[in-house]
Amino acid sequence: MSQKNRIAGGQIDRAKTLKFSFDGRSYAGHPGDTLASALLANGVRLMGRSFKYHRPRGALSAGSEEPNALVELRGGARQEPNTRATTVELFDGLLAKSQNRMGSLRFDLLAINDRLSNFLTAGFYYKTFMWPAAFWEKLYEPVIRKAAGLGSLSGKDDPDVYDKGFLHCDLLIIGAGPAGLAAALTAGRAGADVILADEDFSMGGRLNSETFAVGDRSGADWAAQTVAELASLSNVRLMPRTTIIGAFDHGTYGGLERVSDHLHSPDAGKPRQILWRIYAKRALLCAGATERPIAFDNNDRPGVMLGAALRTYANRFGAAADRRVAIFTNNDDGHRTARDLHAKGVRISAVVDVRPDAPLHPDYQVLRGAQVVDTRGRLGLSFIDVRQADGTMRVVECGALGVSGGWNPNVHLTCHQRGLPVWDDAIAAFVPGENLPVGMAVAGAANGVFTTAGALRSGAAGAVAALDLGQTPDLPQTEDAPVNITPFWYVKGCARAWLDQQNDVTVKDVKLSHQEGFRSVEHLKRYTTLGMATDQGKTSNMGGLAIMAELAGKTIPQVGTTIFRPPYTPTAIGAFAGRHRGQGFHPTRLTPSHKWAQEQGAVFVEVGNWMRAQWFPQPGETHWRQSVDREVLATRKSVGVCDVTTLGKIDVQGTDAAAFLNTIYCNGFAKLAVGKVRYGLMLREDGIAMDDGTAARLAEDHFVVTTTTANALPVYRHMEFVHQCLFPDLDVQLISTTEAWAQYAVAGPNSRKLLEKIVDQDISNAAFPFMACANITVCGGLRARLFRISFSGELAYEIAVPTMYGDALIRRIMAEGAEFGVTPYGTEALGVMRIEKGHATGNEINGTTTAQNLGMGRMVSTKKDSIGAVLSRREGLNRADDLRQVGIKPVDPAEKVPAGAHLMNAQGPVDAVHDQGYVTSACYSPNLGHHIALGFLKNGGNRIGEELRLVSPLTGVETRVEIVSPHFIDPEGERLRA
Amino acid sequence: MHDLKPVTALGQSAPVAETIGTITIAENDTLALASVAARMGHEEACHAILKKLIGAVPGPGKAQLHDPQAGFWTGPDQWMVSAPRETHELLADTLTPMFGQTATITEQSGAWVCFDVTGAAMSDLCERLCAVPIRKMDAGGALRTMIHQMGCFVIRCKADDHIRILGPRASANSLHHALTTAAHSIA
């Protein structure tokens, strides 16, 4: 198709032709075009279907406020719905499809909805689909879901990547129209660090759409010259294609830069978009204004557009929506559109102005005091019906109608910190209020200054004020016409006049909302969906407010506005995710033995960010249980080794270190001897158990505390809180050493023999008894630490070396232990052995249990104060039938004991009222030859030997179990003291 | 003398260096690190020893770039001191008697991975990684920040195009991935 509506002029590069496709049909455009301008140039007005009634729609605007011309852009995994054709920068090979249709765009089967509009008014779904109730889930909801929504997703992973970034500046200028450019020039020349961001790919704002001069050149040329000067300043960062989407706390702003959206696909390794967090000392909002439509019957027909948009398409893009155009206006700006189009050779069928004193033009007719009351045309505008001042009707032929109802300052970002705009009668619009985000000021049309000269002045003054420069620069002379407007929102008596074209909200819907009592502006929004779609009501909100005000007998400011929230324009979820997706969702932490474990074929499990070896499969093992059973048996028989670096290690030093730990732990630490380790239990302030671990005293003023892997950070944070806030007078220094030391558990009856080959000092039972600790050396002199502690219940040690030697140490342990058949074991075997031993861990210290529940009630010392001690003595936590940790084994050894199952009495009902307790940890014990479990049972300490039922109603499990001691292996602790 | 061979934070026998566009990202495996925290009531004495050791007492956000020992502020009355590992493998053991009862010394050599990032586009790279105001930082600036959810220190070195990033050693690969990915982004 030829570009039949391409007209002279514009800022497109006609020397180059770009091919693109819309709904499978090929078209041509030029660099500098948007998809919408190229379609209009090709004579395509019909671009989409509306949300509810599937009415044919074309572009209403030429910018990001567009409600109608939404397309699915690109194909395959890159298909993106709801892309505004008015902001899509044309590129060669662009592929676009219309959306929200069943069948073709011209023959949409769901257009039947329009015929049923009497049944589908605002809030219809609140009143219908009420019965029969059973139909909701199986019929109504699926049907509604299928019909609802705008556009479709590919369902495939986004192949593109998104970056995040961080910028700092003295002044962030939001919008590069006349005000923004004047501000940037002022601030930039003064040497300030300036960021100038604009959502458009071409900076200049309305200057690119107008024909009047700025100084001695066209507005567009002045803008280009200014941008060139700004680009030459090293202290100014120009950010075209960047939308400031939100004003956040403390002067931070979100900016979405579309780095590659104007390309067929991003270059290799390059992001599609960057979400910038901008730290701005000051910000100047120069976001301009958005023209608003007037509501009248069938004002949504393709070809009915905003007047200034027609001007933009003609002046900037060299595209006419049609060769015959009419204008409907209530202000002088509509006449500017008529003049510009006329000058471009477009025939002006009529200018319809509601004002009786509208200015006349010698070359075309101006109908004073007239109103457009209806339109005609099947898939696009052909005629408008005009009611003239004397009440007579007249039909005017035109293919496009430019509607100009005045301008609304783009105050959105001024409201992101709950600021409210205020009404300005002079321009019949809301302007920014006083309660702006910290550091923000507003200039230009966004502040209600609607002349170009005023915008330049206020932009420059804004920069001067923000940076305290003292002097405004010389500014060029330019257009300074006053605003002449007679507020006019809708044509009285209209039946189907569209306010929110994206959500199909009509004047009648607002009236219905008022009639049904939804009169608050917030209720109006929710009841009718006015302003709720991707355009967030940029062209529709004001009309709805005006009508509601009229119906309620209030003024528009009395009705007020809804709250504007970020993002200013739709933002891809991918941009918020940035690189944090897939394997990059979070960083990983690798243990010092990771590489070695990989070489052994270990199966890893994520534990927080840590990657821990879960088990080490051997040839011939086809099930994880085979590996785990082998590892457990080998460890208990001879010796096993496990990387326990992930356990939190906190270095506690200072003259008050012992006093500090005595406060942190519920049991005593003040008298712990140097060279000794003690098991400790930490309570929360409410008396509930927080974490357990060990504290090793390496010197009078030096302890090393270990925590569980999961609680390494919370415990450290807790200790810092206690130190900084509760006991700041204690001389204590804390620092995490979790990653500084590679630590291995060496467990089993041969563990000493193995370590004796590595440790340089005497570690005999006499020299290094159970719960001993020391700074030692290994392998001929490497500094190391040794702790004789045991999680498995075996004779065991934990040995630590500086992390960089961790890889070497595990290899040395394996080599020296070969003669004992040393076996690496993973977290599964670790878990089995600690359950066999009856050691509690996160499953038991689960945020609901007390020391009493854990069978450690006597550990809470009464001879000292410690955090949580007082509240642990609450009556409610110390009842006779409180839960106690017990061991559980199946009566039939062949039965499993499922974790999470609940204990019920041998006889009686199975329900929550009769619940006796629950299983916290369960496993198969290869040593005992059957499943075992730990759990909590009411009055459990006195019920050893009792037979209960273990039930899991969800999975249909019911197993007879016997309550036993939680210490299945070596209850007397002889092995670990051996 | 022990015979255990250390590996780098990236798990290699030698540090990895990679050039992407104008950016070079090089693992620096040569540092010994120890934290110094003043003990209550001994702050001034601790400051004096620290100043003698590295030439100054770095304040918040500052590093003292000094040879052979250098240091940067990590918290109120806390610093990280570094020195070449080849000559100061036992840095913490050396500092402990030097500071005596005025400070707590903790070995940190194994806790961190260090990357030296150099190149003309260093500032652009830094802006893709973290919130430090890199273009306003002078040599000797040292800020704690988050890089891809990892708590790191960014130190502006003497050369205009050089920053040093210290991150958690266990996440060395993740941090390296973040750096190289950002470098490809801006290349």
Cβ contacts of B41 on chain A, cutoff 8 Å: 731
Closest Cα partner for A106 from A439, A417, A426, A378? A378
Does a structural domain hold residue B2?
A: no
CB contact under 8 A, B168 and A269: no
Is residue A395 a contact partner of residue A385, using CB atoms and an 8 Å limit?
yes
CB contact under 8 A, A733 and B127: no
- Number of C-alpha atoms within 13 angstroms, CB side, residue A543? 31
* Domain finish residue from B51, B78, B109: B109
**Residue B105 pLDDT:** 98
Cβ contacts of B107 on chain A, cutoff 8 Å: 737, 740, 802
Same domain, B98 and B142: no
Helix or strand or coil: residue A337? helix
CB contact under 8 A, B4 and A651: no
Burial class (CB in 10 A: 0-12, 13-18, 19+), A250: exposed
**Residue B88 pLDDT:** 93
Is residue A741 a contact partner of residue A787, using CB atoms and an 8 Å limit?
no
CB contact under 8 A, B6 and A193: no
CB contact under 8 A, B171 and A589: yes
CB contact under 8 A, A590 and B171: yes
Same domain, B21 and B47: no
List A306's β-bridge partners, or say none.
Answer: A403
Number of C-beta neighbours around residue A445 at 10 A: 31
Parent domain of B156: 17-29+111-186
Cβ contacts of A809 on chain B, cutoff 8 Å: 4
Residue to test with chain B: of A646, A739, A777, most B Cβ within 10 A: A739
**Residue A311 pLDDT:** 97
Which phi-psi region, left, alpha or beta, contains residue A178 (left: φ > 0; alpha: ψ -120 to 50)?
A: alpha
pLDDT digits (tens, 9 = 90+) for A713-738: 999 999 999 999 999 999 999 999 99
Cβ contacts of A805 on chain B, cutoff 8 Å: 4-6, 110
Does a structural domain hold residue B149?
A: yes
In angstroms, the CA A163 to CA A106 distance is 39
Same domain, B119 and B165: yes
Q: What letters, b where the CB count within 10 A reaches 16 and e where it falls short, cover B105-115?
A: bbbbbbbbbbb
ipTM of the complex: 0.97
* Domain finish residue from B74, B109, B144: B109
In angstroms, the CA A451 to CA A310 distance is 19
**Residue A907 pLDDT:** 94
**Nearest CB neighbour to A803, from listed B5, B169, B182:** B169
Does a structural domain hold residue B5?
A: no
A83: tokens are 């892309």
**Residue A796 pLDDT:** 98
**Nearest CB neighbour to A741, from listed B8, B110, B112:** B110
Same domain, B95 and B155: no
- Say yes or no: A359 contacts chain B, CB-CB below 8 A: no
Angle at A103 between CA A100 and CA A108, to 5 degrees: 65
Nearest chain B residue to A580, by CA: B148
Q: Which helix (H) or strand (E) holds A855?
A: none
- Rounded to an integer, the average pLDDT of B157-183 is 96
Judged against a pLDDT cut of 90, whether residue A116 lies above it is answered with no
In angstroms, the CA A105 to CA A115 distance is 17
Judged against a pLDDT cut of 80, whether residue A149 lies above it is answered with no
Q: Chain B: give the shortest CA distance to residue A782, in Å.
A: 6
**Residue A115 pLDDT:** 76
Q: Which helix (H) or strand (E) holds A191?
A: none
Q: Chain A: give the shortest CA distance to residue B90, in Å.
A: 9
**Residue A688 pLDDT:** 97
Q: Crossing angle of helices B122-129/B172-186, nearest 10°?
A: 120
Same domain, B86 and B143: no
Same domain, B105 and B116: no
| Interchain CB contacts (distance < 8 Å): A and B | 147
Does a structural domain hold residue B3?
A: no
**Nearest CB neighbour to A588, from listed B2, B107, B171:** B171
Same domain, B97 and B86: yes
Nearest chain B residue to A595, by CA: B11
Does a structural domain hold residue B145?
A: yes
Judged against a pLDDT cut of 70, whether residue A120 lies above it is answered with yes
Number of domains in chain B: 2
Higher pLDDT, B135 or A124: B135
Does a structural domain hold residue B130?
A: yes
**Residue A123 pLDDT:** 74
**Residue A495 pLDDT:** 80
Average pLDDT, chain A: 95
pLDDT digits (tens, 9 = 90+) for B59-78: 999 999 988 999 999 999 99
pLDDT digits (tens, 9 = 90+) for A603-643: 999 998 999 999 999 999 999 999 999 999 999 999 999 99
Judged against a pLDDT cut of 70, whether residue A1 lies above it is answered with no
pLDDT band at A700 (very low <50, low <70, confident <90, very high): very high
**Residue A561 pLDDT:** 86
Same domain, B54 and B36: yes
Q: Which of residues 228-247 of A touch B (CB under 8 A)?
A: none
Q: Chain B: give the shortest CA distance to residue A167, in Å.
A: 6
Domains, chain A, in order of start with CATH, read 18-116 (3.10.20.440), 162-289+409-467 (3.50.50.60), 301-403 (3.50.50.60), 490-552 (1.10.10), 879-978 (2.40.30.110)
The residue to which tokens 């040329």 are assigned: A221
Q: Which of residues 646-705 of A touch B (CB under 8 A)?
A: 651, 653-655
**Residue A470 pLDDT:** 82
Residue to test with chain A: of B1, B2, B33, most A Cβ within 10 A: B2
CB contact under 8 A, B184 and A579: no
**Residue A103 pLDDT:** 82
A742: tokens are 């590679």
Q: Per mean pLDDT, which range of A226-235, A658-667, A875-884 is the poorest?
A: A875-884
**Residue A808 pLDDT:** 98
Q: Please list the alpha-helical segments (H only) found in B62-158.
A: 85-88, 91-99, 122-129
Full-model pTM: 0.93
Same domain, B120 and B105: no
* Domain finish residue from B58, B82, B109: B109
In angstroms, the CA A812 to CA A56 distance is 76
Nearest chain B residue to A803, by CA: B110
- Rounded to an integer, the average pLDDT of A213-218 is 95
pLDDT band at A439 (very low <50, low <70, confident <90, very high): very high
Same domain, B64 and B103: yes
**Residue A3 pLDDT:** 93
pLDDT digits (tens, 9 = 90+) for A536-586: 889 999 999 999 999 999 999 998 888 899 999 999 999 999 999 988 899
pLDDT digits (tens, 9 = 90+) for A900-959: 999 999 999 999 999 999 999 999 999 999 999 999 999 999 999 999 999 998 888 899
**Residue A113 pLDDT:** 79
Q: Which helix (H) or strand (E) holds B116?
A: strand B112-118
Same domain, B24 and B116: yes
Same domain, B49 and B25: no
CB contact under 8 A, A587 and B107: no
Number of C-beta neighbours around residue B135 at 10 A: 15
Q: Quote the DSSP letter at residue A646.
A: T
List the CATH number of the domain containing B174.
3.30.1360.120
Q: Chain A: give the shortest CA distance to residue B124, in Å.
A: 9
Which of A873-877, A898-902, B126-130 reaches the highest mean pLDDT? B126-130
Cβ contacts of A166 on chain B, cutoff 8 Å: 127, 129-132
CB contact under 8 A, A804 and B90: no
List the CATH number of the domain containing B73.
3.30.70.1520
Average pLDDT, chain B: 96
**Residue A830 pLDDT:** 97
pLDDT band at A338 (very low <50, low <70, confident <90, very high): very high
Does a structural domain hold residue B137?
A: yes
Q: Per mean pLDDT, which range of A326-330, A484-488, A952-956 is the poorest?
A: A952-956
pLDDT digits (tens, 9 = 90+) for A394-427: 999 999 999 999 999 999 999 999 999 999 999 9
A368: tokens are 């004073």
pLDDT digits (tens, 9 = 90+) for A761-793: 999 999 999 999 999 999 999 999 999 999 999
Does a structural domain hold residue B119?
A: yes
